[in-house]
Every structure is written in C-alpha cells, then in structure tokens.
Amino acid sequence: QNESKKMAAQAEQKKRQQQLALAKRKQEQALKEKKQKLDQQRETQAKLAQIQRENAAQIAKLQKQAPTPTPSTSTTTSKKSTSKRPSSSSTTSKRSTAAAAPAAAVAATPTSVAMMEPAIPEPKEYHDWMENVDHMVGYDVTTAAMLLPKKSDLSLSEEQRHLLYGASNKPPVAEAPPPTAGRGWDRRNILNARSAWAIARKPEVYRALKAIKSSTPVVGTHALPSKPKTPAEMKQQQQQQAAIPNQWFNEEKAEQDMTLQILSEATQMYLKQVVKQSLVCARERENLEGIRLWHLQNAKAKPPLSLRLGCDIERQVAEADGNAALTVKRMEEAILREDDASATVDPVEATSMSDLACKAPLSAKVVETADRDAKRSFEVYGGKHALQQPPFGRVPKRAKLSKQDLVLGMDLMGHHFTHSRPARGVIKFIM
C-alpha cells in the first residue's frame, strides 16, 4: 500500500510539472505575440510619420514654386490715379501697392497651393449602348431609329447632297496602269501555254521553216538539182529562221500571245460549262431532287425528348447467330475441301461427336444455307427492323460523275459525236 501511495504521489507530481511547463510555454507565446504586435504598431507609426514629413516637404516646395499674383483692384486704382492726378501722386500709389503686395501674397498662398494640387477626375458614366453590353438586342422597324445618330450630328441637306452628287472630300484616286487580265493563265487554266502553242503556233512555225529550207524548185514530185549553198547564203538562211515570228521561247513569253490566251480561256469556259451540265445529268440520274422533295414532305421531326426504359437485345442475339452461322459455313467448307476416305465410312462406327461430324454425308446446300442464315442475321443486327428506310433511299453525300454524264453534258452544250469522232477521244483530251 505504501508503494502504491508513493507511485500515485509521483504521478501527481509529474502531472503538475507538465501542467506548469505547459502554462509557462503559453505565457511565453503570449508575450512573443504581444511583442510582435507592438513592433508592428511601431513600424506603422514610423511609416505614417515619414509619409507626413514627405507630404509637408512637397507642400513647402509647391509654396516656394507658386507665383505671387498681384491683386487686380490695386492695379485698376493705380491706373485711375495716374489718369486723374499729376505725376507726384504716382509715387504714393506705388508705395501703397508695394505695401499691399506682401499681404496679398500671404493671403494668396493657400489658394495657389490648392490650385496646384492634382484634381481627381470624376468617373465617367456611359449610358449609350449599355443595353448591347448587358444582353442581346434585336432591331426591327420600331427600334431601327436607335441606330441613327443624334440630330446635332446629322445634317439632312448635307446627306442628301452626298447621295445626289457624291462626297467631295474623297481622296484622289491614284492613276495606275490596269493589270493584265490574262496574267498567270498558264498555271491557272487546264490548257497551259505549251499545249496551246503546240496546237496553234507549232504548225505555222513548221511550215515557215519548211518553206525556208526548201529553196530548190520542185517540178511535180521531183526536186531539180541545185548548187551547194555558200556561207553567205547559209548565214542568210539562219537569219530568216531566227526572224520567224511566234517561235517557242518560254512560258512567260507565250502568255503574252493574245491568240493563245483566248484559246486557253475559251477552253476553260467550255470545260466549266461541260462540268456544270454533267452535274445536272448526274443529279437527274440519281434522282437527288426527288429524294430531297420526299424528305421535305414526309420526314418527321424528331421529338424534343425521348425516354427509353429497358434494353433491346434483338440485335445482339442476331449478331451472335450470324457469327455462329459463319463458323458453321467455314467448317463445312473446310470439310468439303478435305479428301478424307473415312468420310465414306458408316457413321455407326464413329467413336466421338467430332468423328461423327467428319463421317456424316455432306451436301453442297449446307454451305449455301449457312451463308443465307448469316446474311439474314447480320441484316437484323444492322437495324433492318429498327429503322424504316425511305422508299427512294437516303440523300447521298457524294455522287460520282460517270462517262455517261460527261457525254450528256457535252451533248447539251451542242457538241454531237459521230463515228469518226467518238466521245472517248474527246473525254481523253479533256482529262
């Protein structure tokens, strides 16, 4: 019992010591916080005092820099006195103004300091067009007048004169040579400069060269013998060949030929018209206008909200059936490809189900039946019963131009074809 009492007393002493230690720590923390607060207050007071000193120094500078205005009353009186009294009285007026100047300067210093202080601008208030900032505004016939300016900014007579005769304050337009309309047609058009020169100018150049070279007289189909040409004649012939017009140099020079330009532009316009007519023929062939008309008349608008409860597993079951039918089809095809002698044995001798499947007699209709069942199942999986297709089909996103459309387009343009000039050659030339 004595030992237990001693243990209890020791425990109580430890608790008291711990409590005293905690109390001391709390007191120390409180003292530290008080010191920090006092330091902060002293710092703020020092900053405020410094700011006040700076403001006082600035005010003193402004007072020194401010001019000392002379009162207007003294100047007026001095002028009147000079006009009425003799010159001896002017000295007394000067003394009176000089004596009154310091008092006026002392009285004017606070007003000058107040005038030198920067004025705080008042906040601007914007009332016009605030509705457009807050929300959208729709203008109609009744509210269109809001878009017009104020009457003070609008002169009806001036606006009418501008409408009738045009504005007189327009800047003068600089006169510049107009750019050539056909610049860059070699890169822009389908019929480029090389092809156009080969069609129009190459035969002319070839005939001119042939005429220069064939200087020997021709009788019938035979050329008469002639003397060999001298160097002077050879030089003259070379000069004649170089002087032939419309020879090929490069694409830039060929673009300057108006004949080639007109030929290329005309070909471009013709091809555009053919393509437009071909598009019309393709639309008529695919009945696009009829499909769109049916959709406009019979298509139903989707409901704004639809709620579906439960789950439709018909398509998932159809997918599983189709995969099983494809598996059966491939297995039957593999068995048919095998040339196994055991297939002709009696099925009674089969030892397992796999052996029975190999020994059973097969027919070609099994593969066809499995293929048909797989196709039907995949049609259901694709949504055959879920979606009702329109009678003319859906509106296609893209349509291909066929040869038939191009031929009909050229026919509509007035280009008829014969046996000597079939459509295939013309289409090949265009492409």
Residues with Cβ within 8 Å of residue 143, at least 6 apart in sequence: 137
Residue type, 290: G
Residue with tokens 């103004």: 97
Closest to 380 measured CA to CA, from 323, 306, 331, 311: 323
* Helices and strands: H and E segment counts in the chain: 17, 2
pLDDT at position 396 is: 74
CA-based nearest residue to 314, from 374, 385, 371: 385
Three-point CA angle 173, 177, 178, nearest 5°: 95
Q: Could you tell me how far CA 223 lies from the centroid of its own chain? A: 73
The answer to whether 395 and 288 have CB atoms below 8 angstroms apart is yes
At 244, list the tokens: 């032939």
Query: Would you give the DSSP letter of residue 218?
Result: E
Give the number of other CB atoms < 10 A from CB of residue 276.
13
What CA–CA distance (Å, rounded) separates 7 from 4? 5
Alpha carbons 128 and 179: distance in angstroms, whole number? 47
Q: What is the dihedral of CA 364, 368, 373, 378, to 10 degrees?
A: 140
Beta strands at 218-219 and 222-223: parallel, antiparallel or unpaired = antiparallel
Would you give the DSSP letter of residue 313? -
CB–CB of 345/297 below 8 Å?
Answer: no
262 near 200, Cβ under 8 Å? no
8 Å CB contact between 67 and 112: yes
pLDDT, residue 291, reads 85
Q: What is the mean pLDDT of each run of 10 residues along the chain (431 residues)?
A: 81 86 88 88 87 85 67 44 45 46 44 54 64 61 66 74 76 61 78 89 85 63 63 74 78 86 90 89 86 79 62 84 93 76 64 73 79 91 70 72 84 62 48 46
Position 325 scores a pLDDT of 94
Q: What is the number of residues in the chain?
A: 431
Query: What is the pTM for the complete model shown?
Result: 0.34
Cβ(278)–Cβ(409) below 8 Å: yes
CA distance 60 to 116: 12
What pLDDT was estimated at residue 96? 46
